[in-house]
């Protein structure tokens, strides 16, 4: 491991240990001309090591954007507005700028293509009272909805969450410890798969508010998970979006949480 400056923060729960600031990850962000934070909690081999670039920002809350589709899918399943991964939700016929959105959807396509209209439909069907109940039940960020039920997790919405809180939530999901049926938690984790090798699986979700990009999830190994949460500014808008996963991949390779780039 490259030289790192250790400092102590006082986060809650499973992150209550010394965070190690990674100077080499600062170079990854600099090379990518990116301003943001990356928090990694490595729980392989029965121990916990917390690594960070920009620890102060890792505790700062931002709108979750489409990373909220992870808990929101659990809400929809628990509320009965989504039955399973096979249920088809009819497209409303409104042409949108992303071609993949202009079609019928199911939970898998909705997660993969980050279909905003589908989750806005879920929000309407779940309703404000139940949305608020679920947010408080899982202690998600500031748990605020405000007065815009269809957009509270999007740009301009009231809901905010930090990188630290994202990982605390993901840890509970990984262990099926959220207050939802275990079958629903396992289904959501299946929907989150984005890449896999012979002995590793990446489960995660991107998010973009228009101004801020997210990439959160974990790499699953036989000897334990490595959780990650990145958020970064996106001044170049869509041109910056590939940097989210690129930065995380490069950082995870420095701790051998992902195989070398081919």
Is the pLDDT score of 200 beyond 90?
A: yes
Catalytic site residue 113? no
Query: What is the pLDDT at residue 117?
Result: 98
Domain ranges of the chain: 4-254
Is the pLDDT score of 239 beyond 70?
A: yes
- Of the residues 23, 26, 47, 66, only one is catalytic, namely 66
Q: What is the CATH number of domain 4-254?
A: 3.40.710.10
Portion of the chain with pLDDT greater than 70, in percent: 94
Q: Residue 237 carries which DSSP code?
A: G
Binned at pLDDT 50, 70 and 90, residue 176 comes out as very high
- Give the three-state DSSP class for 134: helix
Cα torsion at 86, 92, 94, 95 (round to 10°)? Answer: 20
Is the pLDDT score of 9 beyond 80?
A: no
CA atoms within 13 A on the CB side of 58: 26
What does the alpha-carbon distance between residue 95 and residue 103 come to, in Å, rounded to a whole number? 9
């Amino acid at each position: 491991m490259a030289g790192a400056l250790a400092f102590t923060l006082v986060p809650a729960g499973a992150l209550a240990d010394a965070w190690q600031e990674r100077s080499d990850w600062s170079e990854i962000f600099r090379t990518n001309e990116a301003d943001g934070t990356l928090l990694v909690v490595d729980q392989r081999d029965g121990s916990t090591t917390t690594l960070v670039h920009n620890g102060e920002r890792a505790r700062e809350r931002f709108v979750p954007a489409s990373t909220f589709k992870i808990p929101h899918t659990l809400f929809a399943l628990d509320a009965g507005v989504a039955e399973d991964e096979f249920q088809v939700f009819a497209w409303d016929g409104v042409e949108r700028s992303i071609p993949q959105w202009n079609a019928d959807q199911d939970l898998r396509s909705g997660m993969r293509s980050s279909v905003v209209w589908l989750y806005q439909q879920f929000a309407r069907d779940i309703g404000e009272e139940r949305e608020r109940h679920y947010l408080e039940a899982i202690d998600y960020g500031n748990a605020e909805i405000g007065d815009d039920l269809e957009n509270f997790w999007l740009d301009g919405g009231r809901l905010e969450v930090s990188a630290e809180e994202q990982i605390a939530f993901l840890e509970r999901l990984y262990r099926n410890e959220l207050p939802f049926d275990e079958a629903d938690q396992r289904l959501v984790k299946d929907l989150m798969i984005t890449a896999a090798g012979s002995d590793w699986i990446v489960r995660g979700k991107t998010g973009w508010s228009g101004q801020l990009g997210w990439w959160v999830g974990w790499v699953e190994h036989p000897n334990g998970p490595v959780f990650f949460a990145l958020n970064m500014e996106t001044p170049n808008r869509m041109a910056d979006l590939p940097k989210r996963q690129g930065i995380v991949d490069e950082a995870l390779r420095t701790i051998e949480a992902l195989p070398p780039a081919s």
